[in-house]
Amino acid sequence: MEKASVKTIAENRKARHDYFILESLEAGIELTGTEVKSIRAGGLNLKDSWISIEDGQAYIKQMHISPYEKGNIFNRDPLRERRLLMHKREIMRLFGAVKQQGLTLVPISVYFKGSIVKVQVGLCKGKKLYDKRDDAAKRDAARTIERALKDNSRR
């Protein structure tokens, strides 16, 4: 069996900055034809999007898919809520984690797996300001060490 090729469309870098990602899952997404064409053209933005669970269904909200240029009457609202396709048991488990532990569901990335659009959903815990500063300090230290090693190898 051939492995389906994975092509990343959009990543939510802000999610990695603002949250600790405890767990990630793959979910399908319910889209219309013109939305898929617009995604293929690169018209997707995950910046302020989030996921809610209502009536046993998971919905992604505030994900912006630009209207398809040649779509005329078939174009939908760019910010409409879209249903995520997951097993009922998975949705209920995530719902329990969100309600009991105060966690958040955030889309981390959207990608094509073969010809199907998939969303990587992250179960996340919010970072405090000092956590963000600590991450920045670690990045700076790693960068400084890398520079020092690079300079030593040149000599």
State the DSSP code for 81: -
- Please give the full DSSP string across 15-71, using - where no structure is assigned: HHHHEEEEEEEEEEE---HHHHHHHHTT-EE-TT-EEEEETTEEEEES-EEPPPTT-
β-strand pairing of 82-85 with 19-29: antiparallel
The share of the chain scoring above pLDDT 90, in percent, equals 13
Mean pLDDT throughout 71-83? 76
Q: pLDDT, tens digit, for every residue of 28-62?
A: 998 877 888 888 888 888 888 889 898 889 999 98
Q: pLDDT, tens digit, for every residue of 84-101?
A: 999 999 889 988 888 888
Decide yes or no: CATH 3.20.20.140 for domain 6-127. no
**Exposure class string for 19-36: b at 16+ Cβ within 10 A, else e:** beeeeebebebebbebbb
- In Å, how far are 68, 118, 132, 135 from 75, measured between CA atoms? 7, 20, 39, 41
Residue 110 has pLDDT above 60, yes or no: yes
Q: Closest Cα partner for 108 from 22, 13, 9, 6?
A: 13
